[in-house]
């Protein structure tokens, strides 16, 4: 009985030790909370696994963002910034049926600033 308790306690300490080396998962798919909220509201319908829009998924799937290589992320961040600047996303046709997905000027600025900051971090290895 004592051996089982000692083994159990040792296993628990070992698990806690391993967890201390793991980064905290405070961000969903690597996105800050406010960015994640915007993406869910205005982008996930087309750009997430399970979407019916295969063309949109070929561009980016936000649910697998963490699986992309750094160079792919940097490229996508540039693309996201460009479509925001050109007001191409969300598409007007989509917004006709989903007006709640319209991005506000504040959201566009927040996303745009984030794409630039995130791209710089990735280029600097952070």
- Do residues 68 and 76 lie in contact, with contact meaning Cβ atoms separated by under 8 Å? yes
CA angle 102, 73, 79 (to 5 degrees): 45
Domain boundaries, the chain: 26-123
pLDDT tens by residue, the chain, 126 residues: 666 554 444 444 545 444 444 443 335 567 999 999 999 999 999 999 988 888 999 999 999 999 999 999 999 999 999 999 999 999 999 999 999 999 999 999 999 999 999 999 999 987
Alpha-carbon distance values, 120 to 13, 45, 115 (Å):
38, 28, 9
């Amino acid at each position: 009985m004592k051996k089982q308790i000692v083994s159990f306690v040792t296993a628990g300490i070992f698990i806690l030790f391993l967890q201390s080396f793991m980064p905290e998962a405070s961000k969903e798919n690597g996105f800050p909370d406010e960015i994640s909220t915007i993406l869910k509201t205005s982008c996930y319908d087309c750009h997430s696994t399970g979407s019916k829009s295969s063309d949109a998924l070929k561009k980016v799937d936000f649910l697998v963002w963490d699986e992309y290589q750094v160079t792919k992320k940097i490229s996508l961040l540039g693309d996201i910034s460009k479509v925001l600047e050109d007001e191409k996303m969300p598409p007007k046709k989509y917004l006709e049926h989903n007006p709640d997905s319209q991005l506000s000027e504040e959201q566009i600025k927040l996303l745009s600033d984030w794409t630039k900051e995130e791209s710089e971090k990735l280029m600097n290895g952070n």
